[in-house]
């Protein structure tokens, strides 16, 4: 008979230290990219959770700068893919080349072999090349000529797309959208931040940012989050929300099991970033839209449309929120 050993609870001191690390990383990113602090926290949460982020916004909003800053504060290597219709899968993953001197085939890695990979305008490349990202985003490795090549850890894909200039683009299929833990929009900077830039205030170059955490320390944050407590009432709340989307007559597909698990895992990281060793219903509500909206498929449109976000907001308003129970 097998037994399950409960993990020890996360001490308050360890949670506060983790929150301080998140705060230092966020401060560094915002010194280089003046964007909403809440969005920065969500992107750091996705990185620590081992997920990937789709940034959908207008050009010139600082999407690429933010990704460069994220790589800098985590001491990671950055890779970049500029998507075009003629981009080939091997341009993303790498290729095997015959070395005449050694008389052997050698693998030359592509730009995905980095800690933070920027995939600019992902919807401008062909579905064949888009699909080349599926394995590496899900499995953390690519296979070339039957041989697997793992990518560095931690690993984050930050893909961008322009939501209004859609001529000649290839919309991401539902399976591809599901590989992204979150779908976010940076939006315009706050009034004071934009005014400061207009007055001539300069931003820090991402390459000038000092690393706050290295890869191994980021991995420890993920391990610490596994010890963040989730009360049974919160688990049931997530289940009720998911089931409500599956019964919604306006949706062709509600939240999958993968989506429910992703929300619970991300909520632990989100709570840790706030210095808590327990998840609250408010964490779930804050994460539901960025984690779930792009996974819903409405009857009248494509997955990830603005309609799904509005439908999800309605679900959140309808399902009763459990009463707070402390750290569960």
Examine residue 328 and state whether it is found in any structural domain, yes or no. no
Mean pLDDT to the nearest integer, 26-36: 86
Query: 39 and 157 in one domain?
Result: yes
Query: 255 and 209 in one domain?
Result: no
Q: Is the pLDDT of residue 153 over 70?
A: yes
Query: 263 and 163 in one domain?
Result: no
**Count of domains for the chain:** 2
Q: Is the pLDDT of residue 70 over 70?
A: yes
Q: Do the Cβ atoms of 178 and 256 come closer than 8 Å? A: yes
Q: What is the pLDDT of residue 166?
A: 66
Last residue of a domain, one of 170, 193, 218: 218
Query: 37 and 77 in one domain?
Result: yes
Q: Is the pLDDT of residue 1 over 60?
A: no
Domain extent at residue 100: 9-218
Examine residue 87 and state whether it is found in any structural domain, yes or no. yes
Q: 67 versus 214: which is more confidently predicted?
A: 67
For residue 270, give the CATH number of its domain: 1.10.8.80
Examine residue 275 and state whether it is found in any structural domain, yes or no. yes
Query: 113 and 238 in one domain?
Result: no
- Which ranges in the chain belong to alpha helices (H)? 12-32, 37-48, 63-73, 89-93, 127-139, 174-177, 191-198, 215-225, 232-247, 257-273, 281-292, 306-318
Query: 167 and 100 in one domain?
Result: yes
Longest dimension (CA), the chain: 70
Averaged confidence pLDDT in the chain: 85
Query: 173 and 47 in one domain?
Result: yes
**Nearest alpha-carbon partner for 267 in 290, 297, 294:** 290
Q: Is the pLDDT of residue 175 over 60?
A: yes
Q: What is the pLDDT of residue 60?
A: 67
Examine residue 223 and state whether it is found in any structural domain, yes or no. no
- Cα–Cα distances (Å) from 289 to 17, 86, 137, 235, 295, in that order, read 28, 33, 21, 17, 10
Q: Is the pLDDT of residue 228 over 90?
A: yes
Query: What does pTM read for this prediction?
Result: 0.87
Last residue of a domain, one of 218, 239, 272: 218
Query: 277 and 195 in one domain?
Result: no
pLDDT band at 3 (very low <50, low <70, confident <90, very high): very low
**Interatomic CA distance for residues 206 and 117, integer angstroms:** 15
Mean pLDDT to the nearest integer, 157-162: 88
Last residue of a domain, one of 158, 187, 218: 218
Mean pLDDT to the nearest integer, 257-282: 94
Query: 193 and 317 in one domain?
Result: no
Per-residue pLDDT of 99-120, as tens digits, reads: 888 888 888 999 999 999 999 9
Of 27-41, 162-176, 216-230, 273-287, the one with minimum mean pLDDT is: 162-176
Mean pLDDT to the nearest integer, 294-306: 75
């Amino acid at each position: 008979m097998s037994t399950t050993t409960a993990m020890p609870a996360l001490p308050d001191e360890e949670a506060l230290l983790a929150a301080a690390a998140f705060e230092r990383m966020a401060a560094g990113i915002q010194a280089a990219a003046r964007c909403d602090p809440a969005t920065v926290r969500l992107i750091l949460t996705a990185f620590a959770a081992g997920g990937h982020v789709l940034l959908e916004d207008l050009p010139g909003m600082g999407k690429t700068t933010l990704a460069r800053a994220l790589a800098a504060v985590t001491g990671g290597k950055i890779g970049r893919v500029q998507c075009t219709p003629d981009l080939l899968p091997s341009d993303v993953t790498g290729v095997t080349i015959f070395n005449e001197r050694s008389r052997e085939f050698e693998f030359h890695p592509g730009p995905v072999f980095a800690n933070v990979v920027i995939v600019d305008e992902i919807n401008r490349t062909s579905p064949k090349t888009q699909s080349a990202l599926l394995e590496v985003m899900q499995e953390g490795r690519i296979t070339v000529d039957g041989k697997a090549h793992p990518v560095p850890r931690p690993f984050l894909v930050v893909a961008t797309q322009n939501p209004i200039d859609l001529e000649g683009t290839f919309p991401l299929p539902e399976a591809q959208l599901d590989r992204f833990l979150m779908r976010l929009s940076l939006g315009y900077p706050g009034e004071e931040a934009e005014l400061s830039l207009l007055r001539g205030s300069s931003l820090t170059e991402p390459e000038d940012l000092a690393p706050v955490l290295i890869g191994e320390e980021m991995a420890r944050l993920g391990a610490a989050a596994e010890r963040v407590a989730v009360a049974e009432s919160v688990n049931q709340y997530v289940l009720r929300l998911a089931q409500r989307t599956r019964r919604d007559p306006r949706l062709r597909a509600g939240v999958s099991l993968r989506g429910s698990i992703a929300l619970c895992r991300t909520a632990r990281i989100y709570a840790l970033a706030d210095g808590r060793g327990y998840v609250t219903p408010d964490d779930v509500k804050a994460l539901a839209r960025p984690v779930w909206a792009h996974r819903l498929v409405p009857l009248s449109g494509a997955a990830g449309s603005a309609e799904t976000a509005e439908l999800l907001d309605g679900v959140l308003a309808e399902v009763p929120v459990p009463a707070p129970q402390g750290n569960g």
